[in-house]
Amino acid sequence: MASIIPDSNVEDACASKLKDWKGKNLQSLDVESFSEMMTEVHTLMGVSRLKDDGLPTFSNHVLRVEICGPQEDHISVIDVPGIFRNVIPGKSTREDKSLVRDMVQAYMRNPRSIILTVVPANVDIATQEIIEMAHEFDPDGERTLGVLTKPDLVDKGAEEKVIDLIRGKDMQVRLGWVIVRNLGQSELLGGIHRDAAEEEHRKKHPWSIIGRDSFGIDALKIRIRVTVTANARHAFSSVRSEVSKNLRARQVGLRSLGPERNTMEQQVQYLLDIVSSFQNLTMQALGANYSSNDAFENSNALRLATEVVTRNEKFSEDLSRWGHLIDFNSALPLRADASDIAVKHPKSERRLLSPRKVKNIPEIQGILPESSSVSPPLSHDICSWIGDEYRQSRGFEIGTFNHVLLSSLMKKQSLKWISLANGYIGDIITIVHTYIASGLRQLLERYQSAVDEVDFLLFVERSITPMTLNHYLNDNLEKCRQKRANSIQAKKAFDSPEGKVVRLDDLNHHQNMSNAEHAVQDLQDILESYYKVARKRFVDNVCMQATGYYLMQGPITPTGLLSPSLVSSLGREQLDAIAGEEATLKRKRERLYKEIADLSTARDILL
């Protein structure tokens, strides 16, 4: 039978096509069937068949013809092109010259290859480049056997020189020389039998003085068989070691492909194994049980609990420091004619804050909420700002203020919560997405739920009438009023042996303030107190609901998406699309199975 061994550097598609080809009708190797086969081979290999067809003359692909039978020798004969120096236009190129040389040297370099240096007997042996190449790759001559051809073309009187070469008197080759006599073109056409012609030539003088062990195709067969056996014995230990090494490598390669996934049952089991491993890893990641799996040592992205807690703390810190529009601690005097808010930032706070701390992932960028850079709180008199807002919204209240005003002030003071919260939830989604396997469409729906929850919490805190049952509001309010009273009394205090003291009459002294000033002062105290309560509540809600419930530990988190119930709901086509093996992987697995079987057999024989 005949087949083609593709060049190792050829593309997979071409290699597959060449491997699939098999020769037909070759039982007798008659001229017609062999010629037909060679036409197919030339076409497949892309080499020239006709003069001036523009195709290359040589190829690195190998045509393999196997002859099987009980009387056949177990040996591989590789017929490589002859080395040539001159390029013939239309037949060979400089590239062909290099290709042939590299091909020949590759086979000669193999320490288990027997080198047959085939040289015509009617030329000067010393000028043949193949002899020099053989000496280069086999300097000790342990695997080089000389073959002389065309003895019938040796000039009269030159026979003795050829005979001396065979007897080892000239240009010694350790394994010696064998001379063979093949048929010429006219003899082939005349139907002359090759072996008969060779035996007749051997009997002629002076060739008859050459021993039978150095003349003829049978002698060459025996010499090759002996040389191959000796070379095999010499390489036996290394062959055994190499076979075991290659067997282990193929077994490792097969294991790296994972279990077979050709049938529906195999695909379901494959996915269930992945689900089980993923769930165990997620449980360990959420519990910060990082010592239980070496994977956590190789990737910080898998340390999910740590990544989320660290980002939560940064979100709380950013909202506390950057979240308010105007600094509560400004102590500038109240100006009755204040209008626009002056943008004044301390020199140390003139930089902008980026709400995003984690690098974007392009595939989920489209679902993440937008978040612009945040500037530091304005260093402006907050009383002036509240006063402006009060004057623009007051009605017929007497000594108080419209309750809607507090909602308006809270909404403006918390304006930067939007960017900070959106940046935070975008980072958490990115952290979670980095942790889990990407590509499942359902994940995007779970992510969107977290974004919607942040929008909901922002609306509740910034648009609904301020409300809390938290007693911390009253504590904050009392502290604000006490702080204000202390600042007023401090101006009237004087030193005494017991420290700073204030006269009793001064304690009863009241500031003369208008209704508007009194309302603004109350608004400032209430806004500051409520803002602190709302900020802490908002941070907790975002971290616990948007992150904790929708992304980390709720009933429908992305990390819980991969489950046995999901696998059981998949149909045959879905299973095959998700878990089925690609054609290239199937071919690779089949090849590894065959190589493992062959190497196992070889190992058993060698052992």
447-496 confidence digits (pLDDT tens) = 677 778 888 888 888 888 888 877 777 787 778 777 777 776 676 776 77
Q: Is the pLDDT of residue 299 over 70?
A: yes
**Measured between alpha carbons, how far apart are the two ends of the chain, in Å?**
31
Positive or negative, the CA dihedral 539, 545, 550, 553 is: positive
Q: Return the structure tokens found at 237.
A: 């230990």
Q: Is the pLDDT of residue 347 over 60?
A: no
Position 447 scores a pLDDT of: 64
Phi/psi class of residue 344: alpha, beta or left (left: φ > 0; alpha: ψ in -120 to 50)?
Answer: beta
Position 68 scores a pLDDT of: 81
Which residues lie below 8 Å from residue 295, measured CB to CB, with a gap of 6+?
A: 281, 302
Q: How far is CA 201 from the centre of its chain?
A: 67
Q: Is the pLDDT of residue 27 over 80?
A: no
Distance CA 340, CA 328 (A): 17
Distance CA 264, CA 531 (A): 58
Q: Is the pLDDT of residue 587 over 80?
A: yes
Q: Return the structure tokens found at 515.
A: 């209704």
Position 337 scores a pLDDT of: 41
Distance CA 404, CA 466 (A): 9
Q: pTM for this one?
A: 0.50
Q: How far is CA 219 from the centre of its chain?
A: 57
Q: Among 147, 156, 122, which Cα is nearest to 220's? A: 147
Average pLDDT of the residues in 330-350 = 46
Q: In this structure, what are the phi and psi dihedrals at residue 513, rounded to the nearest 5 degrees? A: -125, 150
Identify whether the C-beta of residue 545 lies closer than 8 Å to the C-beta of residue 557: no
Q: How many helices (H) and strands (E) does the chain have?
A: 21, 7
Q: Is the pLDDT of residue 143 over 80?
A: yes
Q: Is the pLDDT of residue 445 over 60?
A: no
Q: Among 65, 78, 51, 86, which Cα is nearest to 21's? A: 65
Q: Is the pLDDT of residue 353 over 90?
A: yes
Q: Where are the domains of the chain?
A: 1-82, 266-332+351-444+513-563
